[in-house]
Structure 1
Amino acid sequence: MLKRSEIIKKLESALDSERFKHSLRVEKAAVALAQKHGVSVKKASQAALLHDYARKYDRNSLLKEAKKLMVKIDDISRFEPKLLHADISAILAQRDFGISDKEVLSAIRKHTVGSPRMTKLEKIIYLADHVEEGRDISGLKQLRKLALRNLNKAIVESTSESLAFLLKKGAPINSGTIQTRNYYLLNK
């Protein structure tokens, strides 16, 4: 497994500047949440840094890479291939960076859509991606504070905002996002 400095060096050369900066901001948010919620800072750092590694690929390349790596491609992912980046990033984190910790890989895999019954680390990476300081979304300041207090309630708010955005945009919605919201709505 690579050291943080080696991961950063490799990421910087693979990702465009904005995506690289986003990954660093997600790491900062994830580390703060991990410290607050008693989760391994090292695991949070690794998962956060590598969560978007496959975003280096364009739409067609994501589909090709998913087929090559045997990642399931459903109708929603075929329509919106960037949804595949989470699964692909987890596979590449293991292959290209030597990450073998199953919880870190699962946190990378679940950071886009989430899932019911997530571990604290999975919740932290999911939320850190939404609340990182580069995002400019209404109500984000309150969501950041909520995430520090209660991960489950923050997930309800975050998924609700994501669903509202997708509905307004007229985009198809991955059923996993709805399942995630409903689970945490009922289990705050």
Structure 2
Amino acid sequence: MRDQVLTWLEDNVPTTRMQHILRVEQMSVELARHYHLNLEQAAQAGLMHDLAKYFKPERLLLMAREGGIDIDPICAATPHLLHADVSAIVAKEYFGVQEDAVLEAIALHTLGNPRMSDISCVVFLADSLEPGRGHTPELENLRKIARVDLHKAVWLTSEYCVKHLLNTSRLIHPRMILTRNWAVQRFSQKPQLTQ
């Protein structure tokens, strides 16, 4: 199936996005291996997370409506946010993906969601932290944290994304805040090692 997806992507996304997708696939697998998760699910979700990235806003809205996805006012104003949910629809309808873990990880890679699975956390982190995103001290620190604690990394990566949106005067979807709060609570409930 990977070759089929790669061929489809080559026809539907620019080369720079293709490179990003391959780096997300690779980082998803690396994090999944580190946390003893299903490597095949991580690879599939990483490879297919941006299938709908370059769909026009009208197509995203139409496919979301037809797929029964809730289109709240922020998604209506910023249809690009629907590309994650629509990518999951494409993965299921065009490529026959049936595994809920893979479809969820694709659908949640942009905004996350409270109670998301560890595979979803991995793809969420890989999308934001893959090496092509840059090498600032903050990103390098987030990459280190991603290999220490998934939930702390989701918490701090969500905050990093929110800060970026604030600095660029863009809309912030409430689900990103809910994801951040959930990850903070998950991390704070874990027993902390004392030094």
Q: Say whether the fold is shared (TM-score over 0.5).
A: yes
Letter in 2 for 1:150: D
**What CA deviation, in whole Å up to 9, does each residue of 1:66-85 have, x standing for no partner?**
23433221110111111101
**What CA deviation, in whole Å up to 9, does each residue of 1:85-117 have, x standing for no partner?**
111110110011111001100111111111111
Worse overlay, 56-65 or 87-96:
56-65
User: For this pair of structures, how many residues does the alignment match?
Assistant: 186
Q: Report the 3-state secondary structure (helix = DSSP H, G, I; strand = E; otherwise coil) of the residue aligned with 1:111.
A: coil
The equivalent residue for 1:15 is 13
The equivalent residue for 1:94 is 92
Letter in 1 for 2:140: K
Query: Higher relative contact order by CA 8 Å / sep ≥ 6: 1 or 2?
Result: 1
The equivalent residue for 2:80 is 82
Deviation at 1:173, TM superposition (A): 1.2
Q: After the TM superposition, which residues 42-61 of structure 1 pair with which residues of structure 2 at under 5 Å, given as runs?
A: 42-61=40-59
Structure 1 residues 137 and 173, CA, compared in 2 at 3 Å: closer, same or farther? farther
The equivalent residue for 1:169 is 168
Structure 1 residues 104 and 63, CA, compared in 2 at 3 Å: closer, same or farther? same
CA distance in 2, matches of 1:84, 1:73: 8
The equivalent residue for 2:102 is 104
The normalised TM-score by structure 2 is: 0.90
Deviation at 1:6, TM superposition (A): 2.1
Q: After the TM superposition, which residues 32-43 of structure 1 pair with which residues of structure 2 at under 5 Å, given as runs?
A: 32-43=30-41
The normalised TM-score by structure 1 is: 0.94
CA distance in 1, matches of 2:115, 2:61: 28
Q: Over aligned residues, Cα RMSD in angstroms?
A: 1.3
CA distance in 1, matches of 2:58, 2:48: 21
Letter in 1 for 2:185: L
Letter in 1 for 2:101: E
Q: Report the 3-state secondary structure (helix = DSSP H, G, I; strand = E; otherwise coil) of the residue aligned with 2:181.
A: helix
Q: After the TM superposition, which residues 132-171 of structure 1 pair with which residues of structure 2 at under 5 Å, given as runs?
A: 132-136=130-134, 138=136, 139-171=138-170
CA distance in 2, matches of 1:125, 1:118: 11
**What CA deviation, in whole Å up to 9, does each residue of 1:142-168 have, x standing for no partner?**
111110111111011100011111112
Q: Which runs of 5 or more structure 2 residues have no equivalent in the other structure?
A: 188-195
Worse overlay, 43-52 or 17-26:
17-26
Worse overlay, 6-15 or 97-106:
6-15
Letter in 1 for 2:165: L
Q: Which runs of 5 or more structure 1 residues have no equivalent in the other structure?
A: none
Structure 1 residues 32 and 169, CA, compared in 2 at 3 Å: closer, same or farther? same
Deviation at 1:137, TM superposition (A): 5.9
Name which of 119, 123, 126 aligns with 1:121.
Answer: 119
